[in-house]
Amino acid sequence: MANYTRCAACRYLRRRCCEDCTFAPFFPATNPTRFAYVHRVFGASNVSRMLQQIPEEQRREAADAIASEAFWRVQDPVYGSAGVVSALQTAISRTQRELAETQARVAVYAARAQSATAPAFADEERWSGAGVYLPSNHP
Ligand SMILES: [Zn+2]
Rounded CA-CA distance 104/98 in Å is 10
Domains of the chain by residue range: 3-75, 82-118
Position 115 scores a pLDDT of 85
Rounded CA-CA distance 107/104 in Å is 5
- Residue 5: pLDDT band (50, 70, 90) is confident
- Residue 137: pLDDT band (50, 70, 90) is low
Q: Which residues surround ligand 1, an ion (CB under 5 A)?
A: 7, 10, 17, 21, 23-24
Distance 80 CA to ligand 1 centre (A): 27
Q: What is the pLDDT of residues 10-59, one digit of tens each?
A: 999 999 999 999 999 999 999 999 999 999 999 999 999 999 999 999 99
Q: What is the pLDDT of residues 78-98, one digit of tens each?
A: 999 999 999 999 999 999 999
Distance 16 CA to ligand 1 centre (A): 7
Rounded CA-CA distance 135/128 in Å is 10
The torsion defined by the Cα of 137, 106, 108 and 124, in degrees rounded to 10, comes to: 20
Rounded CA-CA distance 9/26 in Å is 9
Distance 129 CA to ligand 1 centre (A): 58
Q: Provide the whole-model pTM.
A: 0.66
Is the distance from CB of 6 to CB of 23 less than 8 angstroms? no
